Chains A and B, each alone.
Chain A
């Protein structure tokens, strides 16, 4: 390919868009709507995923031991448990610590009531809080823990993480479906735009072929047209999403400070590091494939 031919194709691609401005704009708008929706779902899924991860990290299994077991014996069992691959972190809470923490929570401001207990009422409450690497491995670890001699009770909490995971799964499926439909619409519109472009330039194409233009040169401007539509159609909503996301995060942080701990948004920088290349690639890819498909169908050279 000669460099002149390359630039000629790019120039003609832009001219095609200008000559066919209404159809091109419609295609860009549809593409923009698709990428915008894609971005929204991406942001939702990404954030919910981050929340699931947070929740998973806080999910712990609490293990209580048989009465009369000494702290040394308990720690010996703890060492065995720590060897398991599912375990990320373990915290030992002695009976004294458990009682102190209980007092803090339930006798706050009325510490004198607690002094009524001469012995630690939670003498048998020494426990291990076990944090997992992967919440889905919880059941297997619990089964193992229950089989260990000396363990009285194993308490597990998993509802939050499980609900979020389930929600994320549904969100992914729904968003995947909607995005797929929108992408089909985008491809259809690009196909329409380029078909019109080919019809408008039919005479020019015929002359080009007679003069000795290569297949590449006849086709390239239409592919450039598709790629430009895809690129602009993707870039515009990504910029809009960035601005909006930034504003929403700030707004929620200011106005709903009380939910701050529950709703921790992923930073725009982290989020868009992934979303921008994916969005652009998607736009350009659809533009490229849409134009290739149309050319194959309508432009026999």
Chain B
């Protein structure tokens, strides 16, 4: 479970990026976080990854108070959270297989395990045939699939997706959202930050709306009343 209690974050004097935000996300939930640019969505993601420290309040993930996690323990904590970005952030000098295997290598997984595991994740994202391709040879949608496979291969309980469809056309955007829904159906908590209101409306998931660092709306899954 993810729990934010009266969390605020200020970068400097002025309007805080997040102001007294409290929310709870249950295990296995699919949540959209929406809001204008500069509303504090990305700050929220960074706080969840412990890239930033809150100015006030506490964040608890899977029972762990992030404020009490020591610097040395951060890598281990992050292995339980997968992240996907708008610009994919793949390593351009490595092929699809190597990009996915990279996530396992950096946590010290033995090569024989990696060789077994990567093909199954490639199949899951539908790229088994393109494992030798380099990122520049793939479409945007395919690149995002590689990024999702990389984020999931260490089997995190939470997947954070920061504008995952921001650089994709409509068809590819839907493909990615379907894939994320599939991931969620397997039990992973999925949090998607997005601008794509059409997708948000159609998917009928829980939607948290942030404006100027404050939560102004929190509609439940299946709620058709969500309209921006």
- Using CB atoms and an 8 Å cutoff, list the residues of chain A in contact with chain B: 2, 4-5, 8, 203-204, 206-215, 217
Contacts and interface: CB of A to CB of B under 8 A. Distances in A.
A206 B87 CA distance: 14
A214 B75 contact: yes
Nearest to B113: A4
Contacts of B168: none
B95 to A, nearest CB: 15
B83 interface: yes
9 contacts: A2-B108, A4-B111, A8-B105, A207-B102, A208-B106, A211-B150, A212-B76, A212-B77, A212-B79
Interface in B76-91: 76-79, 83, 89, 91
A210 B91 contact: no
Contacts, number: 47
B158 interface: no
Most buried by B among A8, A207, A212: A212
Contacts of A215: 72, 75
A212 B89 contact: no
A4 B106 contact: no
A207 B87 CA distance: 12
A144 to B, nearest CB: 67
A208 B77 CA distance: 13
Contact of A212 (B72, B78, B91, B111): B78
A211 B108 contact: no
Contacts of B106: 8, 208, 211-213, 217
Nearest to A8: B105
Contacts of A209: 75, 78
Interface size class of B (residues with CB under 8 A): 20 to 34
A214 B49 CA distance: 15
Main secondary structure of the interface of A (DSSP, over half): helix
Contact of B108 (A4, A203, A204, A208): A4
Sorted nearest first, the 3 A-B pairs with minimum C-beta distance are A212-B79, A2-B108, A213-B106
A208 B105 CA distance: 10
Interface of B: 49, 72, 75-79, 83, 89, 91, 102-103, 105-111, 150, 154
A217 B105 CA distance: 10
A208 B78 CA distance: 10
A215 B76 CA distance: 11
B91 A203 contact: yes
A143 B107 CA distance: 75
B108 A210 contact: no
A160 to B, nearest CB: 63
Contacts of B150: 211
B10 to A, nearest CB: 21
Contacts of B79: 211-212
B89 A4 contact: no
A244 to B, nearest CB: 41
Contacts of A217: 106, 108
A2 B106 CA distance: 11
Contacts of A5: 108
B111 A213 contact: no
Contacts of B111: 4
A212 B154 contact: yes
A70 to B, nearest CB: 87
A203 B102 CA distance: 13
A276 B131 CA distance: 48
Contact of B78 (A2, A8, A206, A211): A211
B109 A211 contact: no
A211 to B, nearest CB: 5
Nearest to B89: A207
Contacts of B76: 212
A213 B75 contact: yes
A211 B154 contact: yes
Contacts of A4: 105, 108-111
A210 B83 CA distance: 7
A213 to B, nearest CB: 4
B181 to A, nearest CB: 23
Contacts of A203: 89, 91
B91 A204 contact: yes
Nearest to B92: A203
Given A203-B91, A207-B89, A207-B91, A212 B107 contact: yes
A211 B91 contact: no
Nearest to A217: B106
A2 B83 CA distance: 24
A212 B75 contact: yes
Contact of B107 (A207, A210, A213): A213
Contacts of A208: 106
A204 B150 CA distance: 13
A209 B79 CA distance: 10
Contacts of B78: 209-212
A118 to B, nearest CB: 99
